[in-house]
Structure 1
Amino acid sequence: MSLAPVSAHSTHSAHSTRPSDPSPASAHPGPTEAELLSFVRRVAADQALVASLPLDPEGRTWLRLAGPDGSEAWLIGWPPGTGTGWHDHGGSRGAFATARGTLTEHALAARIPTEGWKTLELADGVDRGRRLTPGRGRAFGPHHVHEVLNETAGEHAVSVHAYYPPLPLMRRYSRTGAVLRLEEVERPGEWE
């Protein structure tokens, strides 16, 4: 397994070229959620690699990593007050772990349909939240909808993320109370 960076990016950097995707998941099962979680925890413990990520006080930065067994992996820097907004991972399973600082995850404990809707009213009791301090992580399945935030006032956070199959798309949502609205679908290259 190589932990060597593949490429580095910032929200202020130029667009990069995405490596070609591996064979479809049906032809190769790829790493399990547990294997992805083990990988992100190992990488999060690599303090030399974590320290190599350039941090930007104004926007998130990221470094593409070689993930296990054909997965996509990222080291991500989070300035105080930044977050992802509500999103899913286009049917990929994944895991992430905090390497430095503290991240907060808000997630929905409900399977959200991927097609045929624009607005959903969420049932009571579907909200889940957790704080992830250094070394803590979580794995998730292909229907996971969440947002990740650095809610601290003055500390950068750094995390490691891995997905299999590599992200085919991401759906972005807005949320007002119990109402979840699909806002856009992003393809690779639009978030890199």
Structure 2
Amino acid sequence: MSLSASTSVPSPVPDHTSTSAQGPDVGPTQAELLDFARRIAGDSALVASLPLDEQGRTWMRLDGPAGSEAWLIGWPPGTGTGWHDHGGSHGAFATAAGALREDSLAARLPTEGWKTLELAEGVDRSRQLGPGGGRAFGPHHVHEVRNESETEHAISVHAYWPPLPLIRRYSRTGAVLRVEQVERPEDWQ
């Protein structure tokens, strides 16, 4: 799905320094990113400031905690991401309005050196995330996220550390997952 509008604005929420016991050179943990995403998702004024478009997803860049990359994203009815990963970054997202469905793989996939994989039975996971619902994930997470509503927009907050170096996009036919495209930051910023 292509993204239809972009606005880059700093978040009015303070840029909190990581409280990670790992030290200042290590970015925020998955738990810290999820806490940030949930707090921002609860900021009704910020969520309401996102312009929504019936034709495609819209987004605003936010200042994430401790230099992380963060986005507020609007999802028109029936839109989704397709299968993808986050280029080795860990992250989190939380739903601010509407509901999102996440399908993911409960398997650690190699990040390099393959074009097609056959997935084992039992690796598929699915969850519905309504307002306030959130999810943290590690650096090898492969998933797709979509708004299955036929009538309502969904809005969510996403945060990643380190800032996304790339996104791999996949196609899936049954148990076969195939690398289709690699996007770099200049493709979405």
TM over 0.5: yes
Q: Which runs of structure 2 are paired with 1:1-192 in the superposition (5 Å)?
A: 11-13=3-5, 28-192=25-189
Please give the alpha-carbon distance, in whole angstroms, between the structure 2 residues aligned to 1:14 and 1:103: 21
Judge conservation of contact 1:15–1:189 (CA < 8 Å) in 2.
Answer: no
Q: Identity across aligned pairs (percent)?
A: 75
Distance 1:190 1:46, change over 3 A: same
Q: Provide the secondary structure at the position in 1 that maps to 2:187.
A: coil
Aligned length: 174
RMSD: 1.7
Which segments of 5 or more consecutive residues in structure 2 lack a partner in the other structure? Answer: 9-23
C-alpha displacement of 1:13:
4.0
Q: Provide the secondary structure at the position in 2 that maps to 1:12.
A: strand
Please give the alpha-carbon distance, in whole angstroms, between the structure 1 residues aligned to 2:95 and 2:111: 28
C-alpha displacement of 1:191:
2.3
C-alpha displacement of 1:11:
2.8
Please give the alpha-carbon distance, in whole angstroms, between the structure 2 residues aligned to 1:12 and 1:103: 19
Distance 1:157 1:14, change over 3 A: closer
Please give the alpha-carbon distance, in whole angstroms, between the structure 1 residues aligned to 2:39 and 2:57: 22
TM-score by length of 2: 0.89
Distance 1:51 1:13, change over 3 A: closer
